[in-house]
Chains A and B, each alone.
Chain A
Amino acid sequence: MAFLEIKNIKKSFGKYEVLKDISFSLEKGEVLSIIGSSGSGKTTLLRCINFLEFSEEGTISVDGETIYDGGSLHKYTDAEIRENRLHFGMVFQSFNLFPQYTVLENVTLAPKLLKRGTTEEIEENAKRLIEKVGLSEKINFYPCQLSGGQQQRVAIARALAMNPQILCFDEPTSALDPELTGEVLKVIKGLKGKDSTMIIVTHEMDFAKNVSDKVIFMADGVIEEIGTPEEVFDNPQSEKTKNFLQKTNEI
C-alpha cells in the first residue's frame, strides 16, 4: 500500500460537482504536482486532503491507516479532525501569516500551543527552519515588514514546524510578483528529499516539470492524466491535456 492513498473522493457544492471520483496514490518522498485550469478542482482536492472541506465519499489513508472515510456514517469529532490534519501541512496561496506575531512567533505558535516539546527545543527547531528558508536575519520582523516572497517562505517554515508527513502547497506563488516566485520555488525545491512527501498545486509548468516525480492534470473535477513529468508534459495522451499545455506554451 502506498504512503498516501486517495480513493474515490467526491465533493459537491450544492448541485455543482467539483470533484468526481478522484483517486491517486503517492509514495514516501515523492513530489506530486497537480496542474490544470482554474475551476478544475485542484484547490478543492487539496482542501479535502487537509480537512478544510469534507468529501462526501471516498477515503484518505496515510501510511496504511485509513484516517478518513467520507462514505461512512461515522461522525468525525473536532478532536479526530485535528488529529487527522496533523498528518498534513498546508501552505496557502495568500500566505495567511498571523500579522500580530513576528516571524519566529509565527513558526513557534502552534508547536508551543500543542506542547510539542520544551520552549527551547521548539525555538531552536524554529530557528533552524527559518534559516532553511533563508530568513535568519528577519527573525524578529513582523509579516507587514516582509515582501510577499519572504512571507511565503515564513509560511513554509511555519508548516514544517509541525513536522507534517505530507506537505501541501496551494498555488504558493500565484499571489507573488514574478520576480519573487523564484525564491519561493527554490525553497520548495530545496525541501525535496527522501523523507519529504509533497503535493503542489501550481501554475508554474517549468517548475512542475522540474521538481515532480509525478504529475496530475485535472480538468472538470476528474484526473484527466497522471504520470511522470515526461509522460504528461512531453507525451500527453488526452486531448484536454494537449490543449491545456498548448495554451500555457503559447504565452
Chain B
Amino acid sequence: MTFLQVTLFLLEGFKLSLLIFAVTLLCGAPLGLPIAFCSMSTFKPLKAVSKVFVWIVRGIPLMLQIFIIYYVPGLLFEYPLFAKIDRYFFLEYGISDTGRIVAVLLAFAINYACYFSEIYRGGIESISQGQYEAGYVLGLTKSQVFRKIVLKQVIKRIVPPMSNEIITLIKDTALANCILVCEIIKQAKELAATQALVWPLFYTGVFYLLFVGVLTIVLGRIEKKLDYFKS
C-alpha cells in the first residue's frame, strides 16, 4: 500500500473520530447545563440525585460505560435498539457499525456532560456574591443579573478548563475501538492485521496532533477575545 492509500484509509477512520468529537461536544456541552443547575439546586433530593449521577459517571472508566451502554439493553430486553437507530441515521453516511456508533455517542455525550457540568458549576460558584448583590440593589431581576452580569464572567472563567477537556475529548475518541467502531486507531490496527503494516498505527498520532494544533489555536483565540476584562 502506498503512503497516500494508507493516509486515505486512516482519514476514513479519523472522520469517525471527528464525528464522535463533534456530537459529544454539541450534545454534551448543553446537557451539562441542566446537570450543573441540578447540582447547585437548593432542592435537596434533586441535588442528591444529580451528585450521585455525576459521581457514578465520573467514577467509572469511560470504556466500561461504552460496554455497559452497548451491551446492557440487548441483554435485558433482547431488542437491538441501537442497531435500529443506527440504520436509520447513519447508514447513509456509510457507517455500518450496527448500533456501535450510537452506543459510543451516547456514552461519550453523557460522560462529557458530567465533566462539563462540574466545570460550569465551578465557574458559576466562583463569581462573587457581590456581583449578584450589585445587580439586585439596582433593581434588576435574577434572570437579568445572571444573563447580563454573571454569564460572561462565568464564560471567561470556564474557557481554560473547557479547552483542556475538549482537547482530552479528541484523544478519548480512540476508546470507541473497544467495541470495534472503525475510528482511526481501529483502522490502523486493521492495516496491521491484514497488510502486516505496523507504522500506520504510529502515523495516527500525526492526525491527532494536527487537529489538537488547530483546536489550540481556536481556543486560544476565544480566550484572548475575553482578555479585555479581568474578573
Interfacial residues, chain A to chain B (CB-CB below 8 A): 50-52, 78, 82-83, 85-86, 88-90, 92, 94, 96-100, 109-110, 113-114, 142-144, 155, 158-159, 162
Contact = CB atoms under 8 A, between A and B. Distances in A.
B144 A113 contact: yes
B170 to A, nearest CB: 30
A143 B228 CA distance: 10
Contacts of A110: 135, 138-140
29 contacts: A50-B137, A78-B142, A82-B136, A82-B140, A82-B141, A85-B138, A88-B137, A90-B133, A94-B128, A94-B130, A96-B133, A97-B134, A98-B134, A99-B229, A99-B231, A100-B156, A109-B138, A109-B148, A110-B135, A110-B138, A110-B139, A113-B144, A113-B148, A114-B139, A142-B229, A143-B229, A155-B134, A162-B138, A162-B139
Given A94-B130, A113-B148, A100 B229 contact: yes
B163 interface: no
Interface of B: 128, 130-131, 133-142, 144, 148-149, 152-153, 156, 228-231
B155 to A, nearest CB: 9
A162 B140 CA distance: 11
A142 B152 CA distance: 14
Contacts of A78: 141-142
Contacts of A100: 152-153, 156, 228-229, 231
Contacts of A97: 134
A51 B161 CA distance: 36
Closest 9 CB pairs of A and B: A110-B138, A96-B134, A144-B230, A96-B130, A90-B137, A99-B229, A86-B139, A100-B229, A100-B152
Nearest to A84: B139
A142 B228 contact: yes
A129 to B, nearest CB: 14
Main secondary structure of the interface of B (DSSP, over half): helix
A200 B135 CA distance: 20
Contacts of B136: 51-52, 82, 85
A85 B135 CA distance: 11
B229 A82 contact: no
A158 B142 CA distance: 19
A85 B139 contact: yes
Contacts, number: 72
Contacts of B152: 100
Given A82-B139, A113-B148, A92 B229 contact: no
Contacts of A89: 137
A98 to B, nearest CB: 5
A114 B140 contact: yes
A46 to B, nearest CB: 10
Given A78-B141, A78-B142, A144-B230, 10 more contacts: A52-B133, A82-B140, A90-B134, A110-B140, A113-B140, A114-B138, A142-B228, A143-B229, A143-B230, A162-B138
Contacts of B130: 92, 94, 96
Q: Which one of A78, A82, A90, A97 has the highest number of Cβ atoms from chain B below 10 Å of its Cβ? A: A82
A88 B137 CA distance: 8
Q: Which one of A89, A92, A98, A143 has the highest number of Cβ atoms from chain B below 10 Å of its Cβ? A: A98
A90 B228 CA distance: 27
Contacts of A113: 140, 144, 148
B139 A92 contact: no
B133 A92 contact: yes
Nearest to B138: A110
Given A85-B139, A86-B139, A110-B138, A144 B133 contact: no
A189 B153 CA distance: 33
Contacts of B131: 96, 98
B124 to A, nearest CB: 15
Contact of B149 (A86, A98, A142, A144): A98
A156 to B, nearest CB: 12
Contacts of A83: 139
Q: Which one of A83, A85, A99, A143 has the highest number of Cβ atoms from chain B below 10 Å of its Cβ? A: A99
Contacts of A52: 133, 136-137
A102 B175 CA distance: 46
Given A78-B141, A113-B148, A158-B138, A99 B133 contact: no
